[in-house]
């Protein structure tokens, strides 16, 4: 499958109140896109980076295709899903089926975008994976038919210096088993890191699998999550300056904590259920 998955396309923070989340992440120093309205009833704001992005996602009008998100939100906000980048949803679907992964057929999705004083339509094709393929959160493949309408230059400059996704951390009781299931999806073997195991996604951002104990050592004093494991719990983001992001966060009313390695962390209680580490 590695030939059809080209890394993490975007990470999805699912929220019950999109207005409140927009305010939170703007105070955190992110430049957000105008609210998007999807053809299947969901709404979002995006923090765009060079090759990936962070999505604030709400579901005011539940749709059967997004039943997972409705169930997730019942227990609060948080890092609910990761979209994987693919150039060919149809070919990826065939390859997944051949590998014994029960992916659903490609699903078309669209939303209007205001560009140059007029309205155009951003179009996507999604290949939804079974939850068993990614314990801890939902993963699906995303093909962008109109990337030029998503990666708009005017939305890629952030006051906090955010430059891209670095990693998504999955908190789990059994690191070997959870990482192994994900590794099958990417066709890559897990590799050891200080806190647990890492799985290469084929792009700049990776997946990390850690226990509660090892994560507490990595992020001392940072509140992580109230959701049971396995769960996508921490989002790591590359920044141009750790001092700059700390100052921006304090100005926005947050309580960032310096980690032993110099990175800057905001606990999940202040960031809609996801701990965020800027480094």
74 to 38, 45, 59, 138: CA distances (angstroms): 21, 21, 12, 15
Q: Could you tell me if 151 and 166 lie in one domain? A: no
Residue 261 · residue 166 · CB < 8 Å: no
Q: Does 2 reside within a domain?
A: no
pLDDT in tens, the chain (279 residues): 568 999 999 999 999 999 999 999 999 999 999 999 988 889 999 999 999 999 999 999 888 888 999 999 999 999 999 999 999 999 999 999 999 999 999 999 999 998 888 899 999 999 999 999 999 999 999 999 999 999 999 999 999 999 999 999 999 999 999 999 999 999 999 999 999 999 999 999 999 999 999 999 999 999 999 899 999 999 999 999 999 999 999 999 999 999 999 999 999 999 999 999 999
Of 96, 131, 155, the residue that ends a domain is: 155
Q: Does 205 reside within a domain?
A: yes
Of 155, 181, 204, the residue that ends a domain is: 155
Q: Give me the pLDDT at residue 63, please.
A: 86
Domain harbouring 20, CATH code? 3.10.180.10
As a dihedral over the C-alpha atoms of residue 151, residue 17, residue 62, residue 142, rounded to 10 degrees, the angle is 20
Report residue 231: phi and psi, to 5°.
-155, 140
Q: Does 55 reside within a domain?
A: yes
Neighbours of 223 (CB within 10 A): 14
Q: Could you tell me if 16 and 147 lie in one domain? A: yes
Q: Could you tell me if 14 and 140 lie in one domain? A: yes
Q: Could you tell me if 137 and 175 lie in one domain? A: no
Q: Does 78 reside within a domain?
A: yes
Q: Does 73 reside within a domain?
A: yes
Domain with 84, as residue range(s), is 8-155
Q: Could you tell me if 99 and 195 lie in one domain? A: no
Q: Could you tell me if 175 and 137 lie in one domain? A: no
Q: Could you tell me if 126 and 193 lie in one domain? A: no
Q: Could you tell me if 140 and 192 lie in one domain? A: no
Q: Closest Cα to residue 79, out of 210, 198, 167?
A: 167
Of 108, 139, 155, the residue that ends a domain is: 155
What domain count does the chain have?
Answer: 2
Q: Could you tell me if 118 and 247 lie in one domain? A: no
What whole-number distance in Å separates Cα of residue 48 and Cα of residue 33?
Answer: 8
Q: Give me the pLDDT at residue 39, please.
A: 83
Q: Could you tell me if 146 and 17 lie in one domain? A: yes
Q: Does 218 reside within a domain?
A: yes
What whole-number distance in Å separates Cα of residue 79 and Cα of residue 237?
Answer: 14
Q: Could you tell me if 204 and 118 lie in one domain? A: no
Q: Give me the pLDDT at residue 2, please.
A: 63
Residues whose CB falls within 8 Å of the CB of residue 186, separated by 6 or more in sequence, listed in order? 1, 2, 5, 199, 200, 201, 202
What whole-number distance in Å separates Cα of residue 115 and Cα of residue 183?
Answer: 39
Q: Does 3 reside within a domain?
A: no
Q: Could you tell me if 198 and 250 lie in one domain? A: yes
């Amino acid at each position: 499958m590695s030939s059809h998955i080209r890394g993490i396309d975007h990470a999805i923070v699912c929220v019950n109140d999109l207005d409140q989340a927009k305010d939170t992440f703007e105070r955190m120093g992110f430049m957000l896109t105008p609210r998007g309205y999807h053809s299947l009833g969901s709404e979002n704001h995006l923090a765009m980076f060079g090759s990936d992005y962070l999505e604030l996602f709400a579901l005011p009008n539940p749709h059967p295709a997004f039943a997972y998100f409705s169930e997730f939100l019942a227990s609060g906000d948080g890092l609910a899903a990761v979209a994987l980048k693919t150039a060919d949803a149809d070919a990826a679907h065939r390859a997944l089926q051949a590998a014994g992964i029960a992916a659903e057929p490609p699903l078309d999705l669209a939303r209007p975008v205001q560009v140059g004083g007029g309205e155009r339509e951003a179009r996507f094709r999604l290949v939804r994976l079974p939850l068993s393929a990614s314990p801890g959160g939902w993963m699906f493949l995303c093909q962008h038919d109109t990337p030029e309408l998503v990666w708009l230059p005017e939305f890629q400059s952030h006051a906090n210096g955010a430059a891209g996704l670095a990693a998504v951390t999955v908190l789990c009781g059994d690191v070997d088993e959870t990482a192994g299931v994900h590794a099958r999806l990417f066709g890559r073997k897990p590799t050891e890191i200080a806190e647990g195991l890492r799985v290469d996604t084929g792009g700049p951002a990776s997946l990390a699998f850690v226990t509660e104990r090892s994560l507490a050592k990595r992020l001392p004093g940072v509140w992580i999550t109230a959701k049971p494991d396995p769960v996508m719990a921490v989002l790591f983001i590359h920044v141009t300056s750790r001092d700059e992001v700390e100052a921006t966060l304090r100005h926005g009313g947050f309580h960032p904590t310096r980690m032993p390695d110099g990175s800057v962390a905001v606990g999940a209680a202040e960031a809609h259920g996801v701990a965020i580490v800027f480094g």
